[in-house]
Amino acid sequence: MATLPRALVIRAPGTNCDQEMVRAFALAGAKPDLVHLDALVTDPGRIAEFQLIGFPGGFSYGDDIASGRVFAMRCRERLYPQLRAAVERGVPMIGACNGFQVMVQIGLLPGGRKDTWEQSVALTDNISGRFCDRWVGMQAEPASRCIWTRGIEESISPADREDVWMFPVAHGEGRFICRDKEVLSHLESSGLVALRYRDNYNGSENAIAGICDESGLVFGLMPHPERYLEWTRHPYWTRLDDRIRQGETPGMRIFLNAMEFVTGRSAVGSAG
């Protein structure tokens, strides 16, 4: 019997979507381990044991300074070499919401430098100045390098995309911005933009909802795919055609795509 790929889900005080991410990896076919950040700081070498890594959403350390700031600072100071080594050996990583905020502050996204961390993008206050909790229509970038979103939009018929190609969001600091125009231009021209909002409710530059690094392995997004693993989570799932509900949700497909990369199998449509 083949050994299941191991998925590391890193939590910290205030994380509140860790169990959803653990469940997403498990349903995709991995063996997830939920590990507290303190345990990794004590023994960073544990990161080498895993084939997938997830940074879940939630208000880590209360986000009293800024969203994800304390979590990211501890990772930069104690875990950056091990996280970079994981990328180099081909480990897919995902960060949702607070996890995305953490990854950009660590310097894992959009990446670029391998010897030290550097931050060139950020997630700041929504344009409304308010916390936003809703479902939002999404648009995948077909030319993106991201292995997590590869082919995801093509798996949904054009007639159904407006109804089902959406994710829940819940954040007050989700507006994506870049350090300068050169960074934004590089993201767009290099296939690092993975997802956009159809309704740019938070004012993100170029409606960017998610990006990846140059390898396509490291993926961060403000929406929560781990909250949309079953059709019954959809806000009006009872009105969806049975034909649509025969396949996987967009959220589940994201995690299946990562498993496809890790195992070498075709994951899209393999579970159901």
The catalytic residue among 17, 75, 97, 178 is 97
Mean residue pLDDT of the chain comes to 93
97 included as an active-site residue: yes
Mean pLDDT on 226-243: 93
CA distance 82 to 100: 18
Q: What percent of the chain has pLDDT over 90?
A: 83
Q: Where are the domains of the chain?
A: 6-263
75 included as an active-site residue: no
CA distance 126 to 104: 17
171 included as an active-site residue: no
CA distance 21 to 87: 20
pLDDT in tens, 57-108: 999 999 888 899 999 999 999 999 999 999 999 999 999 999 999 999 999 9
Tokens for 34, please give them.
């939920």
pLDDT given for residue 50 in this prediction: 98
> Residue 167's closest CA among 45, 249, 64, 71?
249
pLDDT in tens, 111-146: 866 666 679 999 999 999 999 999 999 999 999 999
Q: What is the second-level CATH architecture of the domain 6-263? A: 3-Layer(aba) Sandwich (3.40)
The catalytic residue among 141, 153, 173, 226 is 226
Tell me the residue type at 125: D
The catalytic residue among 20, 171, 212, 224 is 224
Task: Give residue for tokens 């969806």.
Answer: 240
Binned at pLDDT 50, 70 and 90, residue 163 comes out as confident
